[in-house]
């Protein structure tokens, strides 16, 4: 069964500090891995997307890493800001399947709170 596990479930950090979120997956066949930021009550917004051959990708203060051998990914946030408070969701795409294309497998997310 395809699964995506994220840790920690929630995290509180002080403004300006760095933090790292983890994502472990058992998805086959692996296509790509995305990190999304989701503000409360809003739709997810894509931060990074990595394929099998990529092991790091940055988007401003967000840096994602991927170890396809150990099936682990991390999202590092540098110099956190109050606006970083949100849920961060790891999504692993599996496929292609012959008649159904690709399937997205979602983690439950890490809830991040940045305090002044």
Partner 1 sequence: DAGVTQSPTHLIKTRGQQVTLRCSPKSGHDTVSWYQQALGQGPQFIFQYYEEEERQRGNFPDRFSGHQFPNYSSELNVNALLLGDSALYLCASSLDWRQGHGYTFGSGTRLTVV
d(CA 37, CA 44): 5
**Closest approach of partner 1 to the CB of residue 18, in Å:** 24
**Closest approach of partner 1 to the CB of residue 79, in Å:** 26
For residues 24 and 31, which CB has a smaller minimum distance to partner 1 in the complex?
A: 31
**Nearest by Cα to 22 from 84, 88, 105:** 88
For residues 19 and 88, which CB has a smaller minimum distance to partner 1 in the complex?
A: 88
**Closest approach of partner 1 to the CB of residue 40, in Å:** 10
For residues 4 and 77, which CB has a smaller minimum distance to partner 1 in the complex?
A: 4
d(CA 100, CA 76): 33
**Closest approach of partner 1 to the CB of residue 107, in Å:** 6
Which residues form the interface with partner 1 (CB under 8 A)?
A: 4, 31-32, 34, 36, 41-46, 49, 89, 93, 95-96, 100-104, 106-109
Strands (E), the chain: 3-7, 10-14, 19-26, 30-38, 45-51, 56-59, 62-67, 72-77, 86-97, 101-106, 110-115
């Amino acid at each position: 069964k395809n699964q995506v596990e994220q840790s920690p479930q929630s995290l509180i950090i002080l403004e300006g500090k760095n933090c790292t979120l983890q994502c472990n997956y058992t998805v086959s066949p692996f296509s790509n891995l995305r990190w999304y930021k989701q503000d409360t009550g809003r739709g997810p917004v894509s931060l990074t997307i990595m394929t099998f051959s990529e092991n790091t990708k940055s988007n401003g203060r967000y840096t994602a890493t991927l170890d396809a051998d150990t099936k682990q990914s991390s999202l590092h946030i540098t110099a956190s800001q109050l606006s970083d408070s949100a849920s961060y969701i790891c999504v692993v795409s599996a496929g292609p399947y012959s008649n159904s294309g690709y399937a997205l497998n979602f983690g439950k997310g890490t809830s991040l709170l940045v305090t002044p």
